[in-house]
Amino acid sequence: MALIQISEPGQSSAEQKHHLAAGIDLGTTNSLVATVRDGQPETLADADGHHLLPSAVQYSPDASPLTGRAAKDKSSVDPQNTILSVKRLMGRGMADIEKSNDRLSYQFINEDSTVPRIKTAGGNVSPIEVSAEILTALKKRAEKELGDELEGVVVTVPAYFDDAQRQATKDAAKLAGLNILRLLNEPTAAAIAYGLESQSEGVYAIYDFGGGTFDISILRLNRGVFEVLATAGDSALGGDDLDHVITDWLIESSGLNKEIGQNQYRELWHQACQAKERLSQQDVVELSVKIEAAPVWQGTLSRTQLNELIDPLIRKTLAPCRRALRDAGVTVEDIDEIVMVGGSTRAPRVRELVGEFYGKNPLVSIDPDRIVALGAAIQADILIGNKSHEDILLLDVIPLSLGIETMGGLVEKVIRRNTTIPITRAQEFTTFKDGQTAMSVHVLQGERELVVDCRSLAKFELHDIPPMVAGAARIRVTFQVDADGLLSVTAQETTTHAESHVEVKPSYGLEDAEIERMLKDSISHASEDVEARNVREQQVEADRVLFALDAALQSDGNTLLTKEELSKIADASSVLRQARNESNAATIKKAIKDLDKETMEFAARRMDKSIHKALTGHSVTEFNEEN
Ligand code: ADP
Ligand code: MG
């Protein structure tokens, strides 16, 4: 937050120092940098007048890496050393990369199983380092254009980025020597670019179809405050996928063998991509494919044909659109505007289908390639303090619930999904056993009731809990999600203040498809989950009762109970022990109740004994006076 600026009477605001700030759209396919000049946001061009910097980096043995257009041009001749779409690898583990269907032409070094490194002629590089090269190129461009160093930047990320992906983005910025003012969700940046925050209120759908990802967000503007009501999307669906469909069509139509090499595939892909982009303006394009030992294939692709090819992929974006509406609790009629973001929304077919879905024409007046960078620049200008009184507050939501493991392998949700961030929420937990001095805290993400069905984010231990009887210790677990979506969890024992803390930067990212699956599972398994929870809860209760009974029998069983009473209790407890292992909540509950009945008298005698013991040496009046 900017400090309040005090200007002397008579001093015009124009004389105040203008801080250099920029907004950076670090895209999968293209990246941009923008700044606010004379009150207007504008993207900055390179020496050749290009605004879009292809998100490509080419490494070579002795020279420093090439970025942007120069690197992208090398992608078909040097695919192994040219890194494209590195954003897809950010914050991902090797396992996620192997699972994904991305057609990646480079080799990974798997020396450390969690952080992937790409083998290049210039050495082994991590995705963070590759992103840092792109950011460095944009930083240089901005500083050359503006004539001084940037004081701060706002970098945008997809709304769906998880902790690890956000952290990786921040690390890349740091590596590039940038001061990150904050990360901003791409849809929120787009809404700001259209100045939607100056309206009095509204509900907006931000449809972002880029090169590698699809994101849909529902924002609500309320008294100048943007709240992200819901987000959904598909991080493995973008213009690249349209390109692949067209490339495959091209291979088939030209009669080329499917087993073509990487280089030729890239060449064809390049041609397919160009055809797609040109068909946004014209009705037909001509194509030609070189085939060894055969004449060149020549053919055409019409917009109608293109539309048929890409239609299924565009329709795939509508399911997340539907889900976002449902999660936001709104209907299509509630949507006041649809903002189109990302190069792929240039395709007329995309505009058509989106318009049909919402029953309204989407906003397309701002260049969909630049809109995110423009919004980020406006936000950076505010955060750096050039515009302190027109501050806007931006709220985002968490995509999946966050919670901790409790006894019986159950998950207690601490922050529910779609809660707006930043947020801090605390919950109290207690010990299970008498004299327990340590507790393990297991942080989970997901909607299901059982630990095994959720995603494990972190585990840590709280020590130095003073020994007390079970259930007496109070451990406060605080979840804090900051404005960038990063989670930190603190556990504190409330009497001694013993504390333990963890920042969650999971090494494995989460695919949107996985989020979707987790959400679907939570719905389809809802009733079974409730039953499973009931069973687990009863099992935990059974364990607690049996544990306490064993302890009581050990100390007082022989002195306070007759042989007959002892055997009755033993019978009831063995019934419970058996019931505990069968997965029926009602049976366990009944067995607990029966054992309870059988031990009532024993408990009363123990109580008498302990009161008697406590009273020894004290007069009754002494206690009365105290009360
Ligand atoms: P990202 O945010 O993933 O970096 P962009 O918003 O820059 O992506 O969009 C890049 C995608 O937009 C590419 O797949 C590109 O082919 C596509 N694209 C660019 N121009 C057009 C166009 N005129 N018609 C259709 N697609 C286009
Ligand atoms: Mg984008």
Q: What is the dihedral of CA 387, 389, 390, 395, to 10 degrees?
A: 110
What residues are in contact with ligand 1 under a 6 Å CB criterion?
Answer: 27-30, 210-213, 238-240, 273, 276-277, 280, 342-344, 346-347, 369
Indicate which residue of 186, 453, 512, 598 is catalytic: 186
Using a CB cutoff of 5 Å, list residues around ligand 2, an ion: 27, 210, 342
* CATH homologous superfamily for the domain 402-514: Substrate Binding Domain Of DNAk; Chain A, domain 1 (2.60.34.10)
Give the number of the atom of ligand 1 that is nearest the alpha carbon of residue 350. 25
CATH 1.20.1270.10, the chain: domain bounds? 527-615
Report the b/e string of 579-607 with b at 16+ CB within 10 A.
Answer: bbeeeebebbbebbebbeebbeebeeebe
Q: Cα(262) to centroid of ligand 1, in Å?
A: 22
Shortest-distance ligand to the CA of residue 157: 2
pTM over 0.85: no
Active site residue 311: no
Closest CA to 585 of 510, 530, 548, 525: 530
Q: Cα(447) to centroid of ligand 2, in Å?
A: 29
Contact of 541 with 432, CB cutoff 8 Å: no
Residue 74 exposure: Cα atoms within 13 Å on the Cβ side = 19
The DSSP annotation for 117-158 comes to EEEETTEEE-HHHHHHHHHHHHHHHHHHHHSS---EEEEEE-
Q: Please name the residue whose Cα sits nearest to atom 21 of ligand 1.
A: 277
Most confident of 132-146, 462-476, 584-598: 132-146
CATH 3.90.640.10, the chain: domain bounds? 239-313
Which of these CATH numbers, 3.40.50.11810, 3.20.20.70, 3.90.640.10, 3.10.640.10, describes 239-313?
A: 3.90.640.10
Active site residue 290: no
Contact of 464 with 492, CB cutoff 8 Å: no
d(CA 80, CA 57) in angstroms, rounded, equals 11
Q: Please name the residue whose Cα sits nearest to atom 26 of ligand 1.
A: 344
Residue 222 tokens, joined? 């309320």
Q: pLDDT tens digits for 173-202? A: 999 999 999 898 899 899 999 988 777 789
Q: Is the pLDDT of residue 65 over 60?
A: yes
**Angle subtended by helix axes 303-315 and 262-278, to nearest 10:** 100
Indicate which residue of 208, 267, 327, 396 is catalytic: 208
CATH 3.30.420.40, the chain: domain bounds? 21-237+317-397
Q: Cα(210) to centroid of ligand 1, in Å?
A: 5
3-state SS string for 209-270: ECCCCEEEEEEEEECCEEEEEEEEEECCCCHHHHHHHHHHHHHHHCCCCCCCCHHHHHHHHH
Q: Is the pLDDT of residue 595 over 60?
A: yes
Q: Cα(102) to centroid of ligand 2, in Å?
A: 18
Q: What is the dihedral of CA 22, 27, 30, 36, to 10 degrees?
A: -20
Q: Cα(188) to centroid of ligand 2, in Å?
A: 12
Active site residue 208: yes
Q: pLDDT tens digits for 457-516? A: 888 888 888 888 888 888 888 888 876 677 888 888 888 888 887 766 433 445 556 656
ω before 467 within 30° of 0 (cis)? no
3 vs 164, more confident:
164
Q: pLDDT tens digits for 39-56? A: 899 999 999 999 999 999
Shortest-distance ligand to the CA of residue 375: 2
Active site residue 25: yes
CATH number of 21-237+317-397: 3.30.420.40
pLDDT bracket for residue 246 (50, 70, 90): very high
Shortest-distance ligand to the CA of residue 368: 1
The answer to whether the Cα torsion of 568, 573, 578, 582 is positive or negative is positive
Interval 283-298 mean pLDDT: 83
Give the strand pairing for 297-302 and 284-289.
Answer: antiparallel
Report the b/e string of 502-523 with b at 16+ CB within 10 A.
Answer: bebbbebbbbbebbbebbeebe
CATH number of 527-615: 1.20.1270.10
CATH 2.60.34.10, the chain: domain bounds? 402-514
Q: Is the pLDDT of residue 26 over 90?
A: yes
Contact of 280 with 241, CB cutoff 8 Å: no
Closest CA to 588 of 543, 553, 623: 543
